[in-house]
């Protein structure tokens, strides 16, 4: 069972790496913990351009993965991370943002040599087949189609938000990926004809899967890496077929920013003191493994929409508009905040009646950790995002709440966004978002009541949806607003940076600029965990770019 390459994780990066490394005849094994679907048998909820059904389908998630969101708030929550071929790209909102050129220039300046904007743009172009633009910023021959929501499809709510943005100095930009600055735009999506195109669909086509040198093992968990001294020799796995081991010249971790560091630590690569306490033999003492965890913290304000202002049933995508603006907060770059505008907030009848402005800190400074609870692969790691621990993040998110609340007072939005309220995708909202007949029935009843009586609607929103929180009250008290934000902040499912790139002299780094793990042979990491910090973007396209760039380095023996 000898391969040239073993790829651990069939998410966005793993699919890319498997495609590129198997193209030249190398023997490649791709291992994915979740299910795999052939190109002609992809479930409808994954194909759906609206992701809200797939995202909350437990079949596609790590079922026991929980996280601490804010350190000083007693709230642990299930953290939705994909466990399915294609990873997050099979269940996410399909947003295809790249981030700021300054993100990548800063990556390079702090030790990720070659990852400046000039160094990454060719790989952004390589991954995409842009269906709308053909210029020096875009590619037209890559595996992933990029299309955009049309302004003609915008609902009345989104059109009103656009008017309010214009009046607040956030102009319309036709293309969010050809420049970076304050503005709002139609949303670029990994989507063709209103249907999702995941990394699995794009990179593991029938012809790629037919390569005799590519082996795919779904529903198989990697227990640990095997090693001889400081040379990684392969992996030990577990599946319904037992616990076979596989050997390779090189193992590439593409398990994501939570499970890649966990696997490293289970295999003896990480902070020595922690591993010794767990009885794990040390292969390499690398203190940065599991550190520097980042996410985009956010909350939302939602409102009831009349039928004429809701998202049409045949409209493209889920997020109809994306905006970026500058907080002006000291010590933060320009264009450091983001807002997504949705004219449908969930799949169920209540969600179809609610428009939302979900806003988050796009350039984040707080960091958390991933650590092991014990040495067993059956126990999920301890995940602590430690959101809002950096004052800059906490203050900017509060100010964003104020900004969006006042935006909804704009004359274009007052008659459209009715009974606005603070909202968050936590607790009750998560439970009701799971796709089931029971939730469909319950939400149908509540939605009918909301339609029939404005008085009843306002009371239902306050008591059953907003948990008693009122925007005006939160705006009058910084203490109450701070408390609300900390209790309700959520991530955007963009974890990064737990195996960050940097020089071997940097004690916080784990890999070099080619994804090679410091002081360990035969091992690379090629997913979002190597990002020096979370870019100012939804992270799927940057993750695909990382995999394209590292696979190219491997093929060119770097």
Residue ranges for the known binding site are 84, 92-95, 222
Q: Which tokens sit at 377? A: 């692969």
Q: Which of these, 166, 199, 201, lies nearest to 182 by C-alpha position? A: 166
Q: Which of these, 60, 175, 485, lies nearest to 299 by C-alpha position? A: 485
Q: Which of these, 557, 318, 307, 310, lies nearest to 451 by C-alpha position? A: 307
Q: Which of these, 63, 431, 32, 338, lies nearest to 215 by C-alpha position? A: 32
Q: Would you mind telling me the total number of residues written for the chain in this entry?
A: 558
Q: Which tokens sit at 273? A: 């003191």
Cβ proximity of 222 and 235 under 8 Å:
yes
The residues that bridge with 222 in the sheet, in sequence order, are 237
Would you call 406 a catalytic residue per the annotation? no
Which of 138, 296, 348, 494 is an active site residue? 494
Other residues' Cβ atoms within 10 Å of the Cβ of residue 311: 25
Cβ proximity of 213 and 2 under 8 Å:
no
Other residues' Cβ atoms within 10 Å of the Cβ of residue 254: 33
Q: Which tokens sit at 443? A: 């939400």
Task: Annotate 346-398 with DSSP letters as a single string.
Answer: SSSHHHHHEEEEEEEESS----BEEE-SSS-TTSPPEEE--TT-SHHHHHHHH
d(CA 526, CA 18) in angstroms, rounded, equals: 12
Q: What are phi and psi of 445, to 5 degrees?
A: -65, -50
Beta-carbon contacts of 315 under 8 Å, excluding residues fewer than 6 positions away, are: 149, 153, 155, 343
E strand or H helix at 482: helix 478-488
Crossing angle of helices 117-127 and 540-555, in 10° steps, is: 100
Beta-carbon contacts of 351 under 8 Å, excluding residues fewer than 6 positions away, are: 52, 344, 345, 433, 443
d(CA 146, CA 379) in angstroms, rounded, equals: 38
**The tokens 């609206």 sit on which residue?**
50
What does each C-alpha distance from 526 to 7, 90, 143, 184, 326 come to in angstroms? 10, 19, 18, 31, 31
Residue ranges for the known binding site for FAD are 84, 92-95, 222
Residues with active-site annotation? 494
């Amino acid at each position: 069972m000898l391969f040239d390459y073993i790829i651990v994780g069939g998410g966005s990066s793993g699919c890319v790496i498997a495609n590129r490394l198997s193209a030249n005849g190398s023997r490649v094994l791709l291992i994915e913990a979740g299910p795999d679907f052939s190109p002609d048998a992809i479930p409808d909820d994954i194909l759906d351009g609206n992701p809200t059904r797939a995202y909350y389908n437990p079949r596609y998630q790590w079922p026991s993965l929980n996280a601490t969101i804010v350190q000083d708030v007693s709230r642990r929550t299930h953290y939705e991370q994909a466990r399915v071929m294609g990873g997050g790209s099979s269940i996410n909102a399909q947003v295809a943002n790249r981030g700021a050129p300054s993100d990548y220039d800063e990556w390079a300046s702090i030790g990720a040599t070659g990852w400046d904007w000039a160094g990454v743009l060719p790989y952004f172009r390589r991954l995409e087949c842009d269906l709308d633009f053909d210029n020096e910023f875009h590619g037209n021959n890559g595996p992933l189609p990029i299309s955009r929501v049309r302004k003609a499809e915008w609902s009345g709510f989104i059109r009103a938000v656009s008017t309010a943005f214009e009046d607040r100095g956030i102009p319309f930009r036709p293309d969010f990926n050809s420049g970076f600055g304050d503005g709002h735009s139609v949303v670029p999506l990994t989507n063709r004809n209103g249907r999702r195109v995941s990394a699995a669909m794009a990179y593991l086509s029938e012809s790629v899967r037919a390569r005799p040198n590519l082996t795919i093992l779904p529903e198989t968990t990697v227990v640990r890496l095997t090693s001889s001294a400081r040379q990684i020799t392969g992996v030990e796995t577990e599946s319904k077929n037992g616990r076979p081991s596989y050997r390779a010249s090189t193992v590439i971790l593409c398990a994501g920013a939570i499970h890649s560091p966990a696997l490293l630590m289970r295999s003896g690569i990480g902070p020595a003191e922690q591993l010794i306490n767990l009885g794990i033999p040390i292969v390499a003492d690398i203190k940065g493994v599991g550190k520097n965890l980042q996410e985009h913290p956010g909350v939302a304000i939602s409102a009831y929409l009349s039928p004429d202002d809701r998202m049409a049933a045949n409209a493209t995508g889920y997020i109809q508009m994306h905006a970026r603006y500058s907080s002006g907060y000291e010590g933060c770059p320009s264009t450091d905040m983001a807002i997504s505008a949705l004219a449908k907030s969930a799949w169920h009848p209540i969600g179809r009646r609610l428009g939302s402005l979900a806003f988050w800190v796009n350039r984040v400074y707080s960091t958390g950790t991933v650590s092991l609870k014990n040495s067993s692969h059956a126990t999920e790691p301890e995940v602590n995002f430690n959101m809002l621990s950096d004052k800059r993040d906490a203050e900017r998110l509060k100010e964003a709440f104020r900004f969006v609340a006042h935006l909804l007072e704009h004359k274009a939005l007052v008659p459209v966004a009715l009974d606005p309220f603070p909202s968050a995708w936590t607790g009750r909202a998560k439970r009701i978002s799971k796709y089931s007949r029971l939730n469909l029935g319950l939400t149908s009843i509540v939605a009918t009541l909301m339609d029939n009586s404005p008085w009843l609607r306002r009371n239902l929103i306050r008591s059953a949806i907003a948990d008693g929180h009122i925007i005006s009250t939160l705006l009058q008290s910084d203490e109450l607003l701070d408390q609300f934000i900390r209790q309700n902040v959520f991530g955007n499912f963009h974890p990064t940076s737990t195996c960050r790139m940097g020089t071997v002299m940097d004690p916080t780094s784990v890999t070099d600029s080619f994804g090679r793990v410091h002081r360990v042979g035969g091992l690379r990491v090629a997913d979002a965990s190597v990002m020096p910090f979370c870019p100012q973007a939804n992270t799927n396209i940057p993750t695909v770019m990382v995999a394209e760039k590292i696979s190219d380095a491997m093929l060119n023996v770097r």
